Structure 1
């Protein structure tokens, strides 16, 4: 006798699954090393150009000024008119092809070292560390209950962020309105409505993007992270974890015969994850969230040096080189 299916089957429980990832705050740990030095050199270079170029005089005027009212773009000794838009088109085409070329050869060098989101996040993180402390101190501060000390630290941090963001907005507008006249308008409280709007608008975006959204901009908002995969091949230089050498990972002491125990060079300290500004584990392989900042390389090299093993467990390499 066949038992009816309806009599034996149990009701199916449907579980609603969210399509959105629950955000977990990332607390990047500070790191030093060769690549960290290069990142800060790029921070200084890009910001010196951005904040300083608009103050540079040239033949009685601002060296770089995009005068929309007069429809003239001044770039040092050159003056561009609306009919010269072809030069802008050529410049954009060259920039796009250069970005594609550099990505195909060297991976996300732009993202990790020169992208404004990366640069300003690095600056805002530096301010945060100076006021609230490094990773462990910031995690502890977030977990603590509201206190006068916590309020003072947060107010100091947000105040410093706000001042930097407003100065960034002011500098941005200074490329479209002569910056000395703009500064004079601020001092005399005669700033125009459009200048006021754009200073606050650009400053607010800098504050929110670099201070709060941070890695979420790179992971969810930036289209470059999504289409970079089509520009990568097996010979693209990317940040790579050598799993052949590192696995199976496991803790061991310096000088121990861990190879005899079947362990790899990776001590599973997770410092490479702690220093990552997007919070990923590079040991899981190439991921679109990786911005190529190489913080994990600096961190891993320091651990390898302490353990007395060769550096380069995490390094810039290619898929072909790792597989060889």
Structure 2
């Protein structure tokens, strides 16, 4: 226990330009003006985010068998996914999906750090969309700073107004598409813009539009650094072999400006490293951190600083990779271990849960049967001298089409089935069928006889069958 954990004293340096002087006392933080950056990682990140943004926008409009293909109808308690319909009785599938998502996140984080936040998180994608409109209307980073510093004039007014209009348009469209997952999207758009939508539909559209506008327009990095819990517990999954965006101090220190014509060897002879201290890595960071201060929980692993630094290194004719995706072990001169117990453990559990989910889907029967005994009397004797038990069958059709079912009873010798043995149940509906089962008392050896009700569809092309146990009582 004599070993001490090495501690590195790091004092973060904020170099982002603060808010304007006259508004500073109204702000709880410094305004971050993110600089645009170009590079392969940034291109991949944008197209990756826009791809999933496109999926989000297109999926509600898909149709299957003449109906909306993906619809989570909470009012009807029915979730439709193309040919699959899930009901409240199927909520175990939701639990499996949450568990799989959690372990997938743990696995990816252990391997490549917080890449979910940098490449796939909806907050990151919508912030990029809002920032894109901001740059197109108000200009580059330096122009936006100067625009905010100068007093209001016509040029500033129309730019700010145009930006707000675009932001609200994107926020409203996002809210409509999101609510369209829970109510028919085509009717939603028509009713909303013709002012015919109900109170709650309108409320949720406006609510989610306000959330989108506030999060992507103003809160931005606050969501990543203060509200999102992922930033707080991600360190529990990191180890020395986790790939993260990191600055190589062995190459970069000591920092300092230098003439571009001066050779790299001459610069090193003066005691300077490869970092020219241009602060571009800080200016392009969406959370406003300096990656040169080491690993910080605010870093979302977006790689913007990697592209910015590589661009500077290319101009200086220095090798790229001063800031790169690497591991702590590699920065220390070692070799990154890809296959390690924690990573393998997450992968094994992830595959196990995926297998369980797939198996449950394969074995799922789109039929539910509930058998309710008559509570008024345990049994009764008919005019023919038979012992009769009365039951009520609740048959739920979980398919997307009307289905005819046949009911059979087994386990009771020489029984008589009293009532309809076939019933047609509409898609997604529950039908109630009262029936009676009778037999001669001589066939009953015990006061309680175990019997089975089998409900089967008569459609031979898509036959389903379900057997439920019950009891036949006598004495």
TM-score range (shorter-chain normalised) is: over 0.9
Match of 2:70? Answer: 64
1:171 aligns with 2:177: yes
1:255-299 CA-to-partner distances (Å, cap 9, x unmatched) read 412011010000000000000001110000000110110000000
Moved more, 253-262 or 283-292: 253-262
Deviation of 1:254 (Å): 2.4
CA contact (8 A) 1:255 1:308 kept: no
Deviation of 1:229 (Å): 0.9
- Of 189, 203, 218, the residue aligned with 2:209 is 203
Q: How many residues align?
A: 304
| Structure 2 Cα separation of the partners of residues 147 and 48 of structure 1 | 37
Match of 1:30? Answer: 36
Q: Pairwise mapping of residues 229-308 of structure 1 onto structure 2 (< 5 A)?
A: 229-256=235-262, 257-308=266-317
| Structure 2 Cα separation of the partners of residues 117 and 135 of structure 1 | 21
1:319 aligns with 2:325: no
| Structure 2 Cα separation of the partners of residues 184 and 250 of structure 1 | 60
Deviation of 1:216 (Å): 0.9
The TM-score, its normalising length taken from structure 1, stands at 0.92
Deviation of 1:22 (Å): 4.6
| Structure 2 Cα separation of the partners of residues 22 and 308 of structure 1 | 41
Q: Secondary structure at the match of 1:308?
A: coil
Match of 2:347? Answer: none
Match of 1:131? Answer: 137
CA contact (8 A) 2:50 2:125 kept: no
1:226 aligns with 2:232: yes
1:72-100 CA-to-partner distances (Å, cap 9, x unmatched) read 10111111111011111001000001101
1:9-38 CA-to-partner distances (Å, cap 9, x unmatched) read xxxxxxxxxxxx951000000001111111
| Structure 1 Cα separation of the partners of residues 153 and 216 of structure 2 | 26
Higher RCO, 1 vs 2 (CA within 8 Å, ≥6 residues apart)? 1
| Structure 2 Cα separation of the partners of residues 58 and 75 of structure 1 | 9
1:109-148 CA-to-partner distances (Å, cap 9, x unmatched) read 1000111111100110001000001100000011111111
RMSD: 1.0
| Structure 2 Cα separation of the partners of residues 167 and 284 of structure 1 | 40
Match of 2:121? Answer: 115
1:145-185 CA-to-partner distances (Å, cap 9, x unmatched) read 11111111111001100011001111111111100111221
| Structure 1 Cα separation of the partners of residues 35 and 159 of structure 2 | 19
Structure 2 unmatched runs, 5+:
1-26, 334-475
Match of 1:48? Answer: 54
| Structure 1 Cα separation of the partners of residues 49 and 271 of structure 2 | 43
Question: Higher helix fraction: Structure 1 or Structure 2?
Answer: 1
Rg bigger for which structure? Answer: 2
CA contact (8 A) 1:253 1:307 kept: no
CA contact (8 A) 1:104 1:233 kept: yes
Q: Secondary structure at the match of 2:246?
A: strand
